[in-house]
Amino acid sequence: MNLSAPWIRRPVMTSLVMIAILFFGLIGYRNLPVNDLPQMDYPTIQVTANLPGASPETMAVTVATPLEKKFATIQGLESMSSTSSQGSTSITLQFSLSRPIDAAAQDVNSMISAATGLLPALPNPPAYEKVNPAEWPIMFFAVIGESVKETTMYEYVDTVIGPNLSTIQGVSEVVKYGKKYAVRIQVNPHRLSAKGIGVNEVAEAVGAGNVDIPAGSLDGPHQSYALEPQGQLKKAADYDPLVITYSKGYPVRVRDVGKGVDSVDSKKVTVWYVDDSYSAQTMVFAVKKQPGANAVEVANQVRALMPKIREQIPKGMEVRLMFDQTDFIRDSIDDVQFTLLLTIGLVIVVIFLFLRSFRPTVIPSIAVPLSLVATFAVMYLCGYSLNSISMMALVLSVGFVVDDAIVMMENIIRRMEMGEDAETASLLGSKEVGFTILSMTLSLVVVFIPVLFLGGIVGRILHEFAVSIGAAILISGFVSLTLTPMMCGRVLRNHREQKHGRLYQISERAFTVMLSAYDRSLRFVLRHRLSAMVFTLAIMAASVWIYGISPKGFIPSEDRGFFICYTMAADSVSYRDMADHQDILNRIVIADPDVDELVSVTAFGSNNQGFIFGRAADHGKKRPHVDAIINRLRVPINAIPGLMAFPMNPPPIEIGGKQTNALYQFVLQSDDLDTLYTHGKSFEQKVQGIEGLTDVSSDLNFRSLRMEIDIDRDRASALGLTARQIEQALMYAFSGGKVSTIYASTTQYDVILELEDEFTTYPDILDLLYIKSGTGKLVPLSAVASVRKTVGPLTVNHQGQRPAATVSFNLKPGHAIGDAVDRIQKLAAASLPASITTSFEGAAGAFQKSFESLGFLLLVTILVIYMVLGILYESYLHPITILSALPLAGFGALVALRLFGMELDLYAFVGIIMLVGLVKKNGIMMIDFALESERTDRKPPEEAIHHACMVRFRPIMMTTMAALFGTLPIALGWGAGGESRQPLGVAVVGGLFFSQFLTMFITPVFYIYIDRFSTWLTKKSARRS
């Protein structure tokens, strides 16, 4: 049966079908969204709750634990972690990739409501956001204005820019780093005691004096009037005359014991924007996208809206786009598209060099782009996007899709060289290799079928890759069986009509010499078959050994043009010292010639923490890789006394919902807090000594200085005080407690009560605090409480409802995550008690799971190919012959990675899986012709396989060279993000280069041995019967 005959005889039908395929492919391409990577954001929700003044332990026990118990029952929850610090708790919930985030949010809201009765009296109920706290924003903006106050900048962003940007679909949050306006009522404890006033009286007076209560209306017979009492105090000066109480018949006002100050809501937060010519404390805001939203579409809408917003900006203020992460995405996609065109060009050149004729070269030049463009229609129907993974699949598929056209066209040309006319050669030649192309196509597509069953983050990365490349291969097989033979019959000239030039004659002689050399060497190998088999077995053993010693990686880093640096000082550092340390760091970082600008923030998470977001110079300036800049900065920034800095290049894929100081996390869990703290800190110190690790830190910050205040409840009760009144007074005095709210038209501001700054510095000030009891007596704090110095944790962390400690780390250059994982596991097994359980989380945990599944995936892929080949050839043994070259390809790939100093990472592993499909195509072409020679010409196996190798030498060389040159641009790592794709290209090029020549010798040897084994089995079966 000739599948191609109808298409050859009906060229109009063939042409119109191909035009339709091209048309729908172009429509699909125009409508495909652009993204960095396939949609793989874990549905993540962050829940926050606040209780001013509560210790981390109190927040963990009374707030985090009740909420966690409720959240644990939600369907699809994969991980849950919480961090409780002074006065706040943050719980991060990460759901399975298949769980819709809106449905998960509804469940979270229901569980918050269900937990309300179990929680203490909070100022506001727990709130949740559909955002991953570990994921960095896609855009950063700096608000600049030398003559504009920071609070004015914040107000404009909070009331104008933020609400406008939040209306954009896909924006989850507009994060504001700055200082919001607030009124602070600062009181002097000496004046309070002299006037006989307790701090709690001031709070009650301010709360009662600043009100905004609806008063209703007057409804007369003809008119009605809305009642609007002016109870709001808008400015700090309005609070000074506010009466607190009366003493001896005279009013005691706020100004008599303190003053109202126009201030900010958080005095401890400091934000800088720094570039080569500007450095000032300012305001910065960033745009975060929702999990699953298209980053490029979100950024495009933000960019489109910003000009309208800038038209309304107050005079003297400037909003500057500091960084747009999607610039890298666009550059990366543009570079991959250029690589695709370059690859097609290289493949066409290879075909021309082998065929040495323009007309035959035109045919694959049309077939290859047609197959790729048609793939865009399939991608659109599957809901995919143009991203680095799907585009890389198309680049790699060029070497695949051209193979079918080459095999078909070369066989037709060979028959024409034997004297047949173009149409006859097309009909007979297509019939001759139709089954071969079908076998090659189906057996190659099944390589990617096991990938579709992978789950988790690796499955999401590879699903789009597998479907895109599988669709291109299937379409290519169809085009090669239809369009290619039809064009051969119409475009190619009869051999006797062709006139070849001198270049053709010279190249033909060179090809004849090459074929003759192969003939002699093949005969030599076939005479020494046993040595060839021993060599193959040695290569197999060497492959296993090299695999064992190869450094294992996960997802390679990319130069996206920015870096981050988390900072941490001593647990009890003052915010003033922290700001000084951060300022020194800012100057060091901006002094680097390859850093253009930065944003720096202190009091990020807690008082002793901060971060820097730095933007590197543009790629056009030929600067070093971001990783090199980071390594260069490590020396000076780690020399700053009293500050630890953790610079890193954020990963391309954010895995996990816990934000730590480094890329990789190792979690320790125990129900015994003392055991966890004791062994956790010593374990952290031991991890610091592991070779290849840097930036080692943990969240075990339990050396925070504290003043524990023990309340004498009996004494307090006798004096008319309750524990609640005492703690509220402490909160108002030292925690900056909110006592009232100023309502503006578009926002609201806090009114905060506190002691004057000079009275919040030393522990002795506690003796000056007085509280007014219910009986009207002024009671000193020292009369109802005792104070002692102690230390405690800065934060309390949970992982899956259990107390946890996270040790985070980065890798030094030249070290792989696989080695780090092995060493940390061995250390944990040797040094931690059985009561502490451990696990890798985030990227390190995903690495562990991925390599467990990838090894199994490779075995399943080989098994599936064997089964398909067995079905096609109705043989248990011939598939073994076809797959005999796999060890050679694997050896070549692993050696190439080692020679170029690259890790065996996820992309390199994909390259090895692709080699399974590439290398076996050579075996199929040889085995098909050998079996046909045995059946039709009655040739013995040795002669049949020799004849097949000689006949198929040219198409095998063409397809392999096409695949080599098709993958070469990826192996060279060109363009934005090219360094992450490079291991895949190196693995494929190395495997093809090494296995190409050996396959031409090893496969014939296997064919002869398999044939003899089959004959032996047949004879043995015959004797038994």
**pLDDT one-digit tens code per residue, 377-427:** 998 898 888 888 888 888 878 877 777 777 788 788 878 877 788 788 888
DSSP for 772-787, written as a single string: E-TTS-EEEHHHHEEE
CATH 1.10.290.10 fits 36-133, yes or no: no
> If residue 743 lies in a helix (H) or strand (E), which one and from where to where?
strand 737-743
Q: Is the pLDDT of residue 16 over 90?
A: yes
Tokens of 783: 């009369």
Q: In whole angstroms, give the CA distance from residue 688 to residue 865.
A: 46
Q: Which CATH number fits domain 182-213+231-264+721-789: 3.40.1160.10, 3.30.2090.10, 3.40.50.12780, 3.40.50.150?
A: 3.30.2090.10
pLDDT tens per residue across span 527-572: 888 888 888 888 888 888 888 888 888 888 888 888 989 898 877 7
The reported pLDDT for the residue numbered 501 is: 57
Tokens of 239: 């609070």
For the chain, helix (H) and strand (E) counts, in that order, are 32, 31
Q: Is the pLDDT of residue 973 over 80?
A: no
Q: In whole angstroms, give the CA distance from residue 657 to residue 131.
A: 9
Q: Are 198 and 778 in contact (CB under 8 A)?
A: yes
Contacts of 583 by beta carbon, 8 Å cutoff, 6+ apart: 272, 600
Q: Where are the alpha helices (DSSP H) in 568-650?
A: 575-590, 626-637
φ/ψ (deg, to 5) at 234: -90, -30
pTM (predicted TM-score): 0.76
Q: Where are the alpha helices (DSSP H) in 805-841?
A: 817-831
Pick the closest to residue 326 from 296, 349, 285 (CA basis): 296
Q: In whole angstroms, give the CA distance from residue 562 to residue 582.
A: 19
Contacts of 293 by beta carbon, 8 Å cutoff, 6+ apart: 41, 169, 170, 171, 172
Q: In whole angstroms, give the CA distance from residue 345 to residue 813.
A: 36
Residue count of the chain: 1025
Q: Where are the alpha helices (DSSP H) in 311-357?
A: 325-355
The reported pLDDT for the residue numbered 739 is: 85
Pick the closest to residue 772 from 738, 728, 711, 826 (CA basis): 728
Q: Which CATH number fits domain 136-180+267-290+294-329: 3.50.50.60, 3.40.50.300, 3.40.50.450, 3.30.70.1320?
A: 3.30.70.1320
> If residue 370 lies in a helix (H) or strand (E), which one and from where to where?
helix 358-381
Tokens of 478: 């169809």
Q: Point out which residues pair with 285 in neighbouring strands.
A: 141, 176
Amino acid at site 727: E
Read off the pLDDT of each residue in 702-722 and give the average, rounded to a whole number. 79
Amino acid at site 225: Y
Read off the pLDDT of each residue in 654-683 and give the average, rounded to a whole number. 82
Q: Token pair 């003044």 is at which residue?
A: 53
* Range from 251-265, 585-599, 605-619, 821-835 carrying the lowest mean pLDDT: 605-619
| Domain 512-549+875-1015, CATH | 1.20.1640.10
Tokens of 612: 């820097």
| Domain 562-703+796-844, CATH | 3.30.70.1430
Q: CA of 910: how far to CAs of 241, 673, 876, 940, 997, in Å?
A: 74, 43, 27, 39, 23
- Going by pLDDT thresholds of 50, 70 and 90, the confidence category of residue 522 is confident
The three-point CA angle 143-148-150 to 5° equals: 65
Phi-psi region of 695 (alpha: psi -120 to 50; beta: other; left: phi over 0): left
Q: Is the pLDDT of residue 968 over 60?
A: yes
Q: Are 475 and 376 in contact (CB under 8 A)?
A: no
Q: In whole angstroms, give the CA distance from residue 616 to residue 589.
A: 11
pLDDT tens per residue across span 838-869: 888 888 888 877 777 777 777 888 888 888 88
The reported pLDDT for the residue numbered 502 is: 63
Domain residue limits, the chain: 1-31+357-492, 36-133, 136-180+267-290+294-329, 182-213+231-264+721-789, 512-549+875-1015, 562-703+796-844
Same fold, 1-31+357-492 and 512-549+875-1015: yes
φ/ψ (deg, to 5) at 73: -90, 0
Helix axes 11-31, 358-381, angle to 10 degrees: 50
Amino acid at site 63: V
Q: In whole angstroms, give the CA distance from residue 236 to residue 232.
A: 12
Residue 132 CB-density burial (10 A; 0-12 exposed, 13-18 middle, 19+ buried): buried
| Domain 1-31+357-492, CATH | 1.20.1640.10
The reported pLDDT for the residue numbered 935 is: 79
